[in-house]
Amino acid sequence: MLSLSTAYHINKHSSWHSLLKATANLGFSALELNIEMPKNWLPEIISSVARGEIAISSLHNYCPRLNPVPKGRSIYSGYLMTSEDESERRMAVEYTNRTIEWAGKLGAKAVVLHAGEVSTEPSGSEFFTYVRQFGTTGKLYNQYVERLSADRKIKAPRAMDALKKCLDACLKAAAKNNVKLCLENRYFLHEIPHIEEVLELLKTFEGAPLAYWHDTGHAQVFVNMGFVRDHKDFLNALHKHMFGMHLHDLHHISDHYAPGTGELDFTIFKPYVSEVAVKVVEAHSPQAGNTEVRNSIEHLKKTGVI
């Protein structure tokens, strides 16, 4: 199934039916509902699915939109499963289970999960402030990477233990609703999971509805920043567990361009994607426009991704 993330166009529309029409005009018959989805649209979407007007491939946690967003947090990390605060973890489980339940009602195959992060010194935000100002080369850059990686290595086991407790609760809801809970590879070095952590989590919950979700842009950012050697490091290690993909292009470390408009060679995915159930174009605006999003379908066909 190929779908389009509503991350691309949700902010361009004030109603579900306007967005639905725009989706068809872009050449897509399925959607992934992103974290900005208004709760009051969901009953209308269920009706549209029932009428065969659209299919919903997946939901991106948290969906519907968190309201309010906890103080000091963004909509992207409202509640962390890796938090040391037990009350925050309870909220993370509650809202993830809500997303899973909506996925079941909408007939979606998967919920895509941002699993959490490790609180490092230097912090992830401090590191990326440096990167945006001074780039990804040089002695000081390498020192940042070494310090952050070393601190992350020490602290990650505790964050993983917290995450496992949350996943244990959420996977029960996923099984009940016939939904795969999918661990997405992340953009920032301090975030969870890295490749070996995905494998650890899949082993811990073997037999449960837990899978890997490959984000093409995030993986290539890890390559471009020197965190992994090659994009295929992800694919070779994890393709057997890969249930879905976010498909987007990039320029160095700026991602979410439409496939075919950046530097990423999408032909590398062809040997790995035959068993992937869900493929989602996750372009953002203004990095992409309607023409680029529409043309991405043909690019994905030409490169063997779909």
Residues 6 or more apart from 207 whose CB is under 8 A from it?
Answer: none
Residue 136 belongs to a domain: no
Residue 17 belongs to a domain: yes
pTM for the predicted model, two decimal places: 0.97
Tell me the CATH number at 192.
Answer: 3.20.20.150
Residue 23 belongs to a domain: yes
What is the percent of the chain with per-residue pLDDT over 70, rounded to a whole number? 100
Residue 129 belongs to a domain: no
DSSP notation for 125-167 = HHHHHHHHHH-S-SHHHHHHHHHHHHHHHHHHHHHHHHHHHHH
Residue type, 286: P
Length of the chain: 306
Closest CA to 36 of 64, 12, 8: 64
Distance, CA of 225 to chain centre: 19
Residues 6 or more apart from 179 whose CB is under 8 A from it?
Answer: 100, 103, 104, 108, 109, 110, 111, 209
Measured between alpha carbons, how far is 204 from 110 in angstroms, rounded to an integer?
20
Residue 219 belongs to a domain: yes
DSSP single-letter state for residue 69: P
236 contacts 199 by C-beta, under 8 angstroms = no
DSSP single-letter state for residue 227: S
> What pLDDT shows up at residue 293?
99
Residue 237 belongs to a domain: yes
Backbone phi, then psi, for 229, in 5-degree steps? Answer: -75, -40
| Residue pLDDT, tens place only, 86-97 | 999 999 999 999
| Residue pLDDT, tens place only, 250-267 | 999 999 999 999 999 999
> What pLDDT shows up at residue 76?
86
In tens digits, the chain (306 residues) has pLDDT values of 999 999 999 999 999 999 999 999 999 999 999 999 999 999 999 999 999 999 999 999 999 999 999 988 989 889 999 999 999 999 999 999 999 999 999 999 999 999 999 999 999 989 999 999 999 999 999 999 999 999 999 999 999 999 999 999 999 999 999 999 999 999 999 999 999 999 999 999 999 999 999 999 999 999 999 999 999 999 999 999 999 999 999 999 999 999 999 999 999 999 999 999 999 999 999 999 999 999 999 999 999 999
Residue 229 belongs to a domain: yes
> Which residue in this structure is represented by tokens 């959490």?
116
Q: How many domains does the chain have?
A: 1
> What pLDDT shows up at residue 77?
86
Task: State the SS3 of 169-205.
Answer: HHHHHHHHCCCEEEEECCCCCCEECCHHHHHHHHHHC
| Domain enclosing residue 195, as ranges | 2-120+162-302
Residue 135 belongs to a domain: no
